[in-house]
Amino acid sequence: MSEIFKNIPVIPYEGPASANPLAFKYYDADRVIMGKPMKEHLPFAMAWWHNLCAAGTDMFGRDTADKSFGCEKGSMEHAKAKVDAGFEFMQKLGVNYFCFHDVDIVPEADDIKETNRRLDEISDYILEKMNATGIKCLWGTANMFSNPRFMNGAGSTNSADVYCFAAAQVKKALDITVKLGGKGYVFWGGREGYETLLNTDVKFEQENIANLMKMAVAYGRSIGFTGDFYIEPKPKEPMKHQYDFDAATAIGFLRQYGLDKDFKMNIEANHATLAGHTFQHDLRISAINGMLGSIDANQGDYLLGWDTDEFPFDVYETTMCMYEVLKAGGLTGGFNFDAKNRRPSYTVEDMFHAYILGMDAFALGLIKAAKLIEDGRIDAFIKERYASYSEGIGAKIRAGETTLEELAARAEAMGAPALPGSGRQEYLESIVNSVLFGGC
Ligand code: XUL
Ligand code: CO
């Protein structure tokens, strides 16, 4: 097999002073941060769909990039060329994982039996490459949103026949994920929602989604899948309202239907911001519920109200992300670049620049988050902020040993409380800036 990205070398680490566009400035795989090498803190994954399939088509224009890899698109030869390209790409960057949808790795046929045959064939080929390179599968998923049959959803569809097709796709995607040793299996409910409540039975649809997930857990465990199932919350787009709105909503849903032991969250930065949260918020909500599983690493655009899937660039965001990840003791999953080049960045070099940007942005975030934690002032401030609960009546409240009458009597005896301590937001933000930029 000949080299595909001929003008691109293996990407070296050259340090912050380097001006080489094809070198890492901050991602130094073996550098130890808080007792662990960067590559273990940051198990990066390539998203098959954006990197090897998407070529720049948007609502107003066609492809700008050539992702044919010298083959006819839609053929099995092309599917195999994508495998070759993907593995060469990951090896050159030192990316050790990939994520895929069923229809990213093969062209979908009209007959599901033929699609499944193609999946068997391509997964044999992927497995060969995995064994030869040591690259692993982070997670797999089924695309249950592109085919017109899923216009009203997959688990939430009004058609029992379409529901069977959703089940068939989940079953096969699980087979392939297990065959490739995937650590996780994702449900992103792209069309699991509604356009109008006038035609929608929300309770009915949510029960059906939960049942599909229960069957997936039962089947996955029966074929030896020991990893985590993930919900990837997103509030809207393509549907007006999606049921997995954000981490809090998805966690409530999982608990309601008894799925919380098998599922965790796959938090995507741009989905959290679409829900009106920060990325950090959804990570924190997942972490405090013991459900921070994996991350779709990207960012949105503050000027645009949709899912732009940009490569992570904002180091404040990656720092606060890594702060949450370090505090949570790491991820069981990894960091999947669910991100695409901007449409005018259509060359092979751009594909590599994008991953270098993303990996460096997360490496910087990791370095700075570790410094914030080691600095200790933020933790100390938070501890002090709640100090009134560490003794006396506060400690009694925390222990759940008070009654409303007792507290009301205390309030009356006090007359008026002292104002709570200052939140000191500006002071805390200046600590973040001095940790981020202190060395200049
Ligand atoms: C779409 C999205 C998906 C999921 C997998 O917004 O994030 O690509 O990550 O289906
Ligand atoms: Co995603």
Q: Name the token pair of 94.
A: 């030192």
Instruction: For 22-66, write each residue's pLDDT tens digit.
Output: 999 999 999 999 999 999 999 999 999 999 999 999 999 999 999
Q: Which residues contact 175 (CB under 8 A, 6 or more apart)?
A: 223
CA–centroid distance, 209 to ligand 2, in Å, is: 19
Residue pair 333/295 in contact (Cβ under 8 Å)? The answer is yes
Catalytic choice (104, 228, 244, 262): 104
101 is catalytic: yes
Residue pair 112/102 in contact (Cβ under 8 Å)? The answer is no
CA–centroid distance, 132 to ligand 1, in Å, is: 28
How far is the C-alpha of 14 from the C-alpha of 12, rounded, in Å?
A: 6
Query: Which residue in the block uniquely carries the two structure tokens 């550098």?
Result: 31
Q: Which CATH number fits domain 32-375: 3.30.70.980, 3.40.50.720, 3.20.20.150, 3.90.550.10?
A: 3.20.20.150
Instruction: For 297-312, write each residue's pLDDT tens digit.
Output: 999 999 999 999 999 9
Pocket test for ligand 1, best of 296, 306, 336 (most atoms within 8 A of CB): 296
Task: From the CA of 307, give the closest atom in ligand 1.
Answer: 6
**Selection from 176, 139, 164 nearest residue 215 by Cα:** 164
How far is the C-alpha of 239 from the C-alpha of 186, rounded, in Å?
A: 19
Amino acid at 165: F
Q: Is any atom of ligand 1 closer than 6 Å to the C-beta of 141? A: yes
Residue pair 216/185 in contact (Cβ under 8 Å)? The answer is yes
Query: Which residue in the block uniquely carries the two structure tokens 């993930």?
Result: 230
Q: Name the token pair of 180.
A: 């490739």
Q: Name the token pair of 432.
A: 């973040």
Bond prior to 238 in cis (omega within 30° of 0)? yes
Cα angle 172, 237, 230; round to 5: 40
Task: From the CA of 145, give the closest atom in ligand 1.
Answer: 10
Q: Is any atom of ligand 1 closer than 6 Å to the C-beta of 307? A: yes
Instruction: For 321-330, write each residue's pLDDT tens digit.
Output: 999 999 999 9
| Predicted local confidence at residue 12, as pLDDT | 98
Phi-psi group of 391: left, alpha or beta (phi > 0 → left; psi -120 to 50 → alpha; rest → beta): beta
**For residue 36, how many C-alpha atoms fall within 13 Å in the half-sphere facing its CB?**
12
Query: Which residue in the block uniquely carries the two structure tokens 């606060």?
Result: 320
Per-residue pLDDT of the chain (440 residues), as tens digits, is: 689 999 999 999 999 999 999 999 999 999 999 999 999 999 999 999 999 999 999 999 999 999 999 999 999 999 999 999 999 999 999 999 999 999 999 999 999 999 999 999 999 999 999 999 999 999 999 999 999 999 999 999 999 999 999 999 999 999 999 999 999 999 999 999 999 999 999 999 999 999 999 999 999 999 999 999 999 999 999 999 999 999 999 999 999 999 999 999 999 999 999 999 999 999 999 999 999 999 999 999 999 999 999 999 999 999 999 999 999 999 999 999 999 999 999 999 999 999 999 999 999 999 999 999 999 999 999 999 999 999 999 999 999 999 999 999 999 999 999 999 999 999 999 999 999 998 76
Strands 184-187 and 228-231: parallel
111 is catalytic: no
Domain ranges of the chain: 32-375, 378-437
Q: Is any atom of ligand 1 closer than 6 Å to the C-beta of 234? A: yes
Q: Is any atom of ligand 1 closer than 6 Å to the C-beta of 296? A: yes
Q: Name the token pair of 261.
A: 């032991």
Task: From the CA of 336, give the closest atom in ligand 1.
Answer: 9
Instruction: For 425-436, write each residue's pLDDT tens digit.
Output: 999 999 999 999
The burial class, CB within 10 Å (0-12 / 13-18 / 19+), for 333 is buried
**Selection from 46, 55, 97, 99 nearest residue 74 by Cα:** 55
Amino acid at 357: L
